[in-house]
Structure 1
Amino acid sequence: MKIHLRKRVGRLSAGNEKRGKKQMASLYLTCIPRPGAKVQYEWLNLHVYENPKTNIEKDHNKETMLLAESVKAQRILDHQTTGHGFVSSVKGKVGFLDYFKKLADRKREDSNGNYGNWQSAYEHLKTYIGRREYTLDQIDENFLEGFKQYLQGNIVRRGTGKLGANSSLSYYNKVKAALREAYMNKMIKENPSTRVKGLKPGESHRQYLTLEELQTLAGTQCDNSLLKKAFLFSALTGLRWSDVKNLCWNKIRYTENGGWNLEYVQKKTKAAEILPLSDQAITILGEKQDVNTHIFKDLCYHTHMNKQLQDWINRAGINKKITFHCARHTFATLQLSMDTDIYTVSKLLGHRHLKTTEIYAKVIDKKKIEAVQKLSFL
């Protein structure tokens, strides 16, 4: 058997080339199980820069290639232990709930803020399964359809009402992600979620703070000074929690024109980004420490932190339910309200698709309509 790691360079449209989008190559494996057999392909959903120029792009390529080589080595090992590329029957007998719990626990270290969603999905999955026991290879279309119905119809949140459409979608997608990973790791022969129609997202409501509210908040005392510093920095930069948490001083670079840039790799998208920082954002960070030091190293995501954040909001006299991610919503909404063009805002947020940014534009349009309706004198 021969397994090779290869890459395929995608074509870059003229429009994307003008917007400065980098050309990427997709990584995949080819396998010839035996002489004369048909070549098998496995796309890894990993991408590298075709012509890396910055240190961030080069580091991204290096880390991605190491991951791809690791997958290749695992595939070779799988073949040696199971033979002919067949999935091991032992792997498929792993308890699905236990497997999902291990993935959820791993997210505690990998993605911080996303861990809460995985943990909530696990709790709903545990309730849905009840006392029954399911192994990985027993998860089928009927199981998934039943879980969808459970999410859409179950009374949750301590009796206060049904799950929202987007919460149901998020939890179902976590189960899909678990099955996809099991399939990628050759633990199951096929992924049943590919044959089940997914849930539809509900209308998205982006809660945010106005400029006046943000100014009031900045002048209000918070019981957790590090949380206050991180939230205001996120509101000035649009960074997600996971990127704020991982921020090191060595990612902040002084530019030739006298400004500051943040050069980092988004934790969610794995894309390299260069984000200009305002003078106020730099001021909030305070005195520069050792280059390898995490700026917000003692900041942890937990329920108590959410309470501290909401207490701070309430103390400022702001009657809104605010989470840390609302700081990112605030940045996007304020930029658009100050007439920053949507393409620039999309780039600042590191969005892959413009339609994601357009959600914020709809919020601004709604506020404009409300403002016009307020002017009435007849």
Structure 2
Amino acid sequence: MKTNITLSMDKRRKRKDGMCPIIFRLSHHRKTISITTGFAVPPEYWNEKNREIKRTYNGVSSVARLNNLLMKKKTDLRDGINSLEENSSLEALSITDLKNILTKSNKSILFFEYGQQLIDEMEEAKRFGNARAYKSAMGALKKFNKKANLRFEEISYNYLKRFETSHFKKGNSVNGLSMYMRTIRAIYNKAIHQGIVSADYYPFKKYKIKSQPTAKRAISKDKIKRILDLKLESDNPLFHARNYFLCSYLMNGISFIDMAYLKVGSIVDGRIQYSRQKTARPYDIKVTKQLISILNYYLEDKSKDDFIFPIIRREQIKDQFHDVQWERKRYNKRLREIAILCEIEERLTSYVSRHSMATNLILDDVPINALSKMLGHSKLQTTEIYIKNLPTHIMDEYQERLEI
């Protein structure tokens, strides 16, 4: 067995009174660490073969009771190891994490404390988008909970249903609740994996997260052309927003954050090459004539290391993330003004360019496999979501093709 626990005497740490501490020696993944028992006896009274205190020791009222207590502690530790092994959590733990779990060092960790630890780790790893989503969910749950502390065991099925009811009473959406619940579930899963809470308390065995299809986001080529034909001078507040939308559409629906991080050096031999911020997946996109006609404005007098678009203005990575968030809010606000100018009934957002690109290519009979690759999807099922939003008259036209 890779993991074992044995009772031993640590003669290396002999105390001034001549006594040596009795310890549990934990072995895991070929490493060893000690766990204190709180007891110590003179080394001559330790039976190394039987792993117990000799009966001749008179430093306690009952040697038998002390040995029984040590054996019970050992059994409890062994049970803890077996439980982690049964939950498939043991293998992934470091020996220090395992010790903390077995000695209940993590027992006092509460849900909000643990969630904040995860947020701190995400920010340290520069995963600011994920950290932001976790902060949002934690904030909503803290507001509902009204107490500073929340134990994992308190998050029961009934607790989640009350949180759900409170969310809907405020007029909030199903998908907003879905985002919160997925985050809560992710935090709980991580805590189970690390042995902080038992899987027996897991509330999502019974509670099912709800979601509903989002409203159709795509707009037609005709409406895209209205945006393209909009006459705007470079000092117009809507100038950059219009260009961002068109560039996203012409670059296979590139996300706003990926567009923000594009540098002049990303353009190589007439192609834009970059890795997506969210997945690190590489992209290689052709620069078309229509696209370069917009990009030329931004490329003038810039070096290879300069960002193409005036979105990121600071040097620190965390500051850059906030630059992107702030500019996206302003971008979406200005897209609503552009929709009014272009007489577009649909609600324009930064996501509409991606959905419009996908939908318009589907309408032009581009194979779904090709579209999936252009969108950077790893599964066709993800691409099929766009097909669900096709206009009804297009589906009618497809049905008419069945006629013989």
* TM-score category, normalised to shorter length: 0.5 to 0.7
Percent of pairs with identical residues = 20
Matches within 5 A, 1:21-32: 31=29
- Per-residue deviation, 1:243: 1.8
C-alpha contact (below 8 Å) 1:111/1:242 kept by paired residues: no
User: Using the alignment, how far apart are the partners of 1:333 and 1:200 within structure 2?
Assistant: 26
Q: CA deviation at 1:292?
A: 2.6
Q: Secondary structure of 1:92's match?
A: coil
Residue 92 of structure 1 corresponds to which residue in structure 2? Answer: 109
Q: Say whether 1:294 aligns with 2:294.
A: no
- Equivalent of 2:276 in 252, 266, 269: 266
Amino acid at match of 2:186: A
C-alpha contact (below 8 Å) 1:310/1:323 kept by paired residues? yes
Corresponding residue number in structure 2 for 1:343:
369
Kept in 1, the 8 Å contact 2:336–2:349? The answer is yes
Offset of residue 127 of structure 1: 3.2
Distance (Å, rounded) in 2 between the aligned partners of 1:367 and 1:295: 40
Relative to 1, partners in 2 of residues 1:263 and 1:134: Cα closer, same or farther, differing over 3 Å? Answer: same
The residue aligned with 2:356 is: 330
Structure 2 contact 101–195 (Cα < 8 Å) conserved: no
How far has the Cα of 1:350 moved from its partner? 0.7
Structure 1 residue matching 2:142: 3-state secondary structure: helix
C-alpha offsets along residues 81-136 of structure 1, whole Å, 9 cap, x if unaligned? x275x6633661463597289569949x6355x77755553443233213463145
Is the 1:234–1:240 contact (alpha carbons within 8 Å) kept by the matching residues of 2? Answer: yes
SS of 2:94's equivalent in the other structure is helix
Partners of 1:95 and 1:136 within 8 A in 2: no
Give me the whole-angstrom Cα distance separating, in 1, the residues matched to 2:121 and 2:101: 31
The 3 A distance-change label for structure 1 pair 277 and 88 is farther
1:177, distance to aligned residue in structure 2 (A): 2.6
Q: Secondary structure at the match of 1:275?
A: strand
TM-aligned CA deviation for residue 321 of structure 1:
1.5
- Please say if 1:314 is aligned against 2:327: no
Q: Report 1 or 2 for greater relative contact order, CA contacts < 8 Å, sequence distance ≥ 6.
A: 1
**2:285 aligned residue:** 275
Whole-angstrom CA distance in 1 between matches of 2:284 and 2:177: 34
* Unaligned 5+ runs, structure 1: 4-29, 45-71, 157-161, 374-378
Residue 168 of structure 1: which of 164, 173, 177 is its match?
A: 177
d(CA) in 2 for partners of 1:233 and 1:337?
Answer: 20
Q: Distance in 1 between matches of 2:384 and 2:111?
A: 43
Separation (CA, whole Å) in 2 of partners of 1:134 and 1:337:
51
Amino acid at match of 1:179: Y
Q: State the shift of 1:353 in Å.
A: 1.4
**DSSP 3-state at the match of 2:389:** helix
Structure 1 residues 88, 166: CA separation in 2 closer, same or farther (over 3 Å shift)?
same
Aligned to 2:188: 179
Q: Distance in 2 between matches of 1:91 and 1:247?
A: 45
> Does the 8 A contact of 1:309 with 1:323 survive in 2?
yes
User: Aligned to 1:290, what secondary structure does the other structure show?
Assistant: coil
1:300 to partner: Cα distance = 2.8
Contact 2:119-2:131 within 8 A present in 1 as well: no
Quote the residue 2:250 is aligned against: 236
Q: 1:78 aligns with which of 97, 103, 109?
A: 97
Q: What is the rounded CA distance, in whole Å, between the counterparts of 1:229 and 1:213 in structure 2?
A: 15
| Amino acid aligned to 1:202 | Q
The match for 2:143 is 127
| SS of 1:199 mapped into structure 2 | coil
Contact 1:206/1:360 (CA < 8 Å) preserved in 2? no
Letter in 2 for 1:170: M
Look up the match of 1:159: none
Q: CA, structure 1 residues 110+309, in 2 after alignment: closer, same or farther (shift >3 Å)?
A: farther
3-state SS in 1 of match to 2:390: helix
1:231 CA displacement: 2.0
1:251 is matched with which residue? 266
Equivalent residues of 1:208, 1:330 under 8 A apart? yes
- Contact map agreement 1:264 1:272 (CA 8 A) in 2: yes
The normalised TM-score by structure 1 is: 0.64
CA distance in 1, matches of 2:177, 2:141: 11
- Number of equivalent positions: 304
Query: In the TM superposition, what is the alpha-carbon distance from 1:172 to its structure 2 partner?
Result: 1.2
Aligned to 2:320: none
Q: Match for residue 60 of structure 1?
A: none
Distance 2:110 2:166 in 1: 25
Instruction: State the SS of the aligned residue for 1:133.
Output: coil
Larger radius of gyration: 2
Query: 1:325 and 1:103 mapped to 2: Cα distance?
Result: 28
What is the aligned partner in structure 2 of residue 223 from structure 1? 237
Spell out the pairing of 1:177-216 with structure 2 (5 A cutoff). 177-183=186-192, 188=197, 190=199, 192=202, 195-216=205-226
Conserved 8 A contact 1:121-1:174: yes
CA 1:169–1:344 in structure 2 vs 1: closer, same or farther (change >3 Å)? same
CA deviation after TM superposition for structure 1 residue 370, in Å: 6.6
| Alpha-carbon separation, structure 2, partners of 1:282 and 1:184 | 49
**RMSD (Å), alpha carbons:** 4.2
